[in-house]
Chain A
């Protein structure tokens, strides 16, 4: 389990008008008296709105928006691996290393990324452009090895293709 981290920026987080509209749409998916169910989707939204991670301040804000106790929000945010509790780079590169990808040599993919990005697994590049993670099965096993960069899957990888994909990122 990860620990929560304070944001050095002390300004109170605030969803944009557009994001608040999305929050309303999220609430509409659940019965009125079951608003707590909106916690996970609102956390996803907050993560994309506030720089790719959830600070302790953001978690307090989300709890307030959804109408649950902050502790409930902390519990959920620390339970699920997709909620980043510390800052990540502009691109979060997640390489699957579970069984099917491992059999198809995901180790080479990881090492070529470490070399390409000059960053070890679990770290962020000094320019904050990339965070490299080794993750569990992402469910694209028939196209192993694969990785996810932010929201997109890249499958049937080779060391060369990985370098190409990284170079092409804007």
Chain B
């Protein structure tokens, strides 16, 4: 874990900490389809990694293995010093330290916005009700919608729902945040409000792994890009490297299609 010398870590604007996510030869099969064919990478504290790639390249599967929503079939994943395996105790520890934001928001529709956020702190962290509600309100302020606390998720716009989902994940005070195409299900006019929250989060020093096609956002906040294709990391480097000097043909083709 400490031998990070041979891992390419690009120069960045803010100082990165120790490695916090460590993946070595991660493989994942869905029946006889191999989604991940040996992923090896290291992500450091406060680093913002954007995962790019065509659909079906394994990028979503990859970030879902980091909090074990998809158990990996071979290789090792170590998050914050804990190896992911069948040990349920480890799993619960990891999941409360790793927040996740989904493409489809996945808010709990039968609970109010406030309750969506306070539920896990109360049930998992055993936080008193009042304290959890104060925390929830401060997070709603942070994502800019404190006035929606008592509404139900379906009464909110898509952009507001995704911001609640971010607040819900932050309420567990995670060390790492995973974003699985957080703006892909949003109407165009709502994308910016979500990206603004994510940018603020990145600037505050959160470790983030983001699957996205929003290249403007990616270029601005990412320390590093990982380009996935057919279950492998084909190319990685700084945003500058990708925008000015991509090496692999598949990278060039992909970038030419989305830019």
Q: Judge: A and B partners, yes or no.
A: no
